[in-house]
Amino acid sequence: MPEMTYREAVQKALADELRSDDNVIFFGEDVAKAGGAFKVTPGLYDEFGGNRVRDTPIAEQAIIGAALGAAITGLRPVAELMFADFIPVAMDQIVNQIAKYRYMSGGQFTIPLTIRAAQGGGAGFGTQHSACAEAWLMQHPGIMVVSPSTPTDMYGLLRGAIREDNPVFVLEHKMLYNMKEDVADNIQPMRLGEAQIRREGGDVTVVATQLMMHRALEAAETLADEGIDVEVIDLRSMVPMDTETVLTSIKKTSRLVVVEEAPHAAGWGGDIVSLAANEGLYWLDAPVIRVNMGHTLVAYSPPLEDEIIPNANRIAQAVRNVVQR
């Protein structure tokens, strides 16, 4: 089982899919010769050449429009948007074209299109380069959204996304690029829409993704010393969402905390709360708590950024509050 970083898992997944299918192509800003802004894609241009791995102008709407055109004409494109914050620049292409094309063609076209973007705060990139984009995308039927939290999932979910015949956003957290773990040699493309229980527990369910999932695990270890047994669920896939795993956990623990690296308003955590209210209300012994960024922007100042983004202490305190109700 070789050790691999989250960053290396992206590169390996892309390389393996480019090798396995000649219809897979990859393009974006500085992804070819430079190896990507975060050095995630080195070596791909050298191996596959300029016809399959291409640099593009700084033009997000053109990148996504070209990807759509490639997808409906038989290719399987992977497009990179350097930062998830730039998704709104191409929102017309995403919302009014990509999400709706298969439906509006009566199923005559499939859209085997993957869009990758780096997201998340904690690295001091400032308010225009630190957003998490799940909630922006989840509202639009026709788009699948995955948020891998580990190198193993990064590799498997990206390969699964590229093989999907519908458009998929793969959102990669910048603060996880250097994370390492042993990754099995025989990891296969993963099916989208399956959550994973990262830590089993009987007292409280905590639902989180990406960096927040790791901070939830940290909080769970602290709380274990206090006699509070926390179950941590990593959603991994936001659309489709594995509601069955969440409900099964709520039925077992009777308490729920949702942790989001995002503002409170219209966040994906509201979907989890709605699920609990609609289908798990009679299992709950306490109100649900959401831990998130409130109604504020990510600051450029490192101390202010750290204050805004949920940490293990805030998560632990939320769990204590739920247990005490």
Strands, sheet with 53-55, edge to edge from the N-terminal-most edge strand = 53-55, 24-28, 76-83, 114-119, 168-173, 144-146, 237-239
1 confidence band (pLDDT: 50, 70, 90) = low
User: Is 129 known to be catalytic?
Assistant: yes
Residue with tokens 């905590």: 206
Residue with tokens 């959401």: 290
pLDDT at 185: 87
Nearest to 111, CA basis, from 164, 149, 54, 171: 164
User: Is 295 known to be catalytic?
Assistant: no
Nearest to 196, CA basis, from 228, 133, 241, 159: 241
Catalytic entry in 17, 29, 60, 134: 60
What integer is the mean pLDDT of 151-160? 98
325 confidence band (pLDDT: 50, 70, 90) = confident
Number of helices (H), then strands (E), in the chain: 12, 14
- DSSP assignment, residue 87? G
Cβ neighbours of residue 301 closer than 8 Å, sequence gap 6 or more: none
Geometric angle at alpha carbon 146, from 143 and 152, rounded to 5°? 150
pLDDT at 66: 97
Domains annotated on the chain, with CATH:
3-182 (3.40.50.970), 196-324 (3.40.50.920)
pLDDT at 272: 98
Catalytic entry in 129, 134, 173, 260: 129
What integer is the mean pLDDT of 240-253? 98
34 confidence band (pLDDT: 50, 70, 90) = very high
Burial of 229 (0-12, 13-18, 19+ CB in 10 A): middle
64 confidence band (pLDDT: 50, 70, 90) = very high
Using N-to-C axis directions, what is the helix angle for 312-324 and 210-224, rounded to 10°?
A: 60
